[in-house]
A and B are shown apart, each in its own frame.
Chain A
Amino acid sequence: MPRIKYISHLKIRLKLYGCTNRPFYHIVVMPHKKPRQGKELEQLGTYDPMPNMFNEKLVSVNFERIQYWLGKKAEISRPVEHLLGLCGFLPIHPTSYLEATRNRKKMAEAEQNKEEKAESGS
């Protein structure tokens, strides 16, 4: 017998709203086979990926309901896992660490390049 992994039919994921060049998401729970814009079972929060005037990406989450749906064996999609990790509700997702390390590396490189340029310039 092949071992079949349990696949929950519920998924907590992002539903795209907004318009051209202005994305906005709802965090929703819905059956995993439904299309992205399908009818959700419940909205659990919002996510605005565009930084506002204070350079903030705003997220609002209903933690109680997320707890409830997780208790109902709902799966979470990668981006939402990422968000919830950064919220401090779930453990931080490894890809967040990866992104951070890569960014740090990039920044260090940029700084090094700057220093080199300054040295060569002087």
Chain B
Amino acid sequence: MCSQLVRASQAVKFLITEFPPCLKLHNVTVLSVRWRKPRWVPKSQSKLFYVREPTAILAEEYEMLKPKYDAYRTEMKALRYFFLQANKAERRQEIARTEGIDAKKDEVQHIKALEINRKWNEECARLREERLLKEREKKEEIEYHKQLKKQQEDQITKTETESFVAQSLESSEKFITMENLDEEIEKLLDSKTDYNIGFRSKSQKQ
């Protein structure tokens, strides 16, 4: 039931789309056919029970028209088909005609494009080589400076170590060994350090 209603409303909606926008209603199930009068004006008294009589079709006219209409429609259908085919054939011809021309054009254009491409490639190669050469030179310079710096640093460390070794060698002569241990002990024992400075009136050692 519900689906039927929906279908009916959709059908009416389709009908409404044919009417001017002023007649489009929010409730799509109601189709207004009052073009001139507002909704609340009642049907006029004279038209209250009026039913329009359908236009009479004369039998002889109908008999005359029926075969003519049939023939007309079939003929029109045939003509339409013919024109359709003609259009298609024309289109095909146009394509065939332009294809050959395009192929030739393409070939010429392809050769031109290749030439342009070759020139471009050469230019690119030249620029690249220049760039690489510059980069290499720069790299070498940096490397040279690095080496120089390293050499200087090495020199400095070398001199430092040498002086350190010499100093230590010099100081090693004064080291206490097993041989002169007793002497040193004696020396230490002999040396007296007096810490009683504070007790004297004139702050003298002796």
A91 near B84 with CB under 8 A, answer no
A70 near B72 with CB under 8 A, answer no
Question: Complex Cα distance A90/B82, Å?
Answer: 13
Q: Given A70-B80, A71-B87, are A98 and B72 also a contact pair (CB < 8 Å)?
A: no
Question: Complex Cα distance A70/B85, Å?
Answer: 11
Q: Find residues 95-122 in chain A having any chain B CB closer than 8 Å to their own CB.
A: 97-98, 101
Question: Complex Cα distance A68/B76, Å?
Answer: 15
Q: Given A67-B86, A71-B87, A91-B72, are A98 and B65 also a contact pair (CB < 8 Å)?
A: yes
The residues of A that contact B86 with a CB separation of less than 8 Å are 67, 71
B69 near A91 with CB under 8 A, answer no
A97 near B68 with CB under 8 A, answer yes
B61 near A71 with CB under 8 A, answer no
The residues of B that contact A98 with a CB separation of less than 8 Å are 61, 64-65
Q: How many interface residues does B have (CB within 8 Å)?
A: 17
B83 touches which one: A70, A91, A93 (CB < 8 A)? A70
| B8 contacts the other chain (CB 8 A) | no
Interface bits A60-76 vs B (CB < 8 Å: 1, else 0): 00000001101111000
B87 near A94 with CB under 8 A, answer no
The residues of A that contact B64 with a CB separation of less than 8 Å are 97-98, 101
CB distance from B151 to the nearest CB of A (A): 88
A94 near B83 with CB under 8 A, answer no
| B75 contacts the other chain (CB 8 A) | yes
The residues of A that contact B65 with a CB separation of less than 8 Å are 94, 97-98
Max chain A CB contacts within 10 Å: which of B69, B83, B85, B88? B83
| B71 contacts the other chain (CB 8 A) | yes
Q: Which residue of B lies closest to A66 (CB)?
A: B83
Q: Given A97-B64, A98-B64, A101-B64, are A91 and B75 also a contact pair (CB < 8 Å)?
A: yes
Q: Given A90-B76, A91-B76, A98-B61, are A71 and B84 also a contact pair (CB < 8 Å)?
A: yes
A70 touches which one: B68, B69, B79 (CB < 8 A)? B79
The residues of A that contact B83 with a CB separation of less than 8 Å are 67-68, 70-71
Listed in ascending order, the chain A residues whose CB lies under 8 Å from chain B are 67-68, 70-73, 90-94, 97-98, 101
Q: List 22 A-B contacts (CB under 8 A).
A: A67-B83, A67-B86, A70-B79, A70-B80, A70-B83, A71-B85, A71-B86, A72-B87, A73-B84, A90-B75, A90-B76, A90-B79, A91-B75, A91-B76, A93-B72, A94-B72, A97-B64, A97-B65, A98-B61, A98-B64, A98-B65, A101-B64
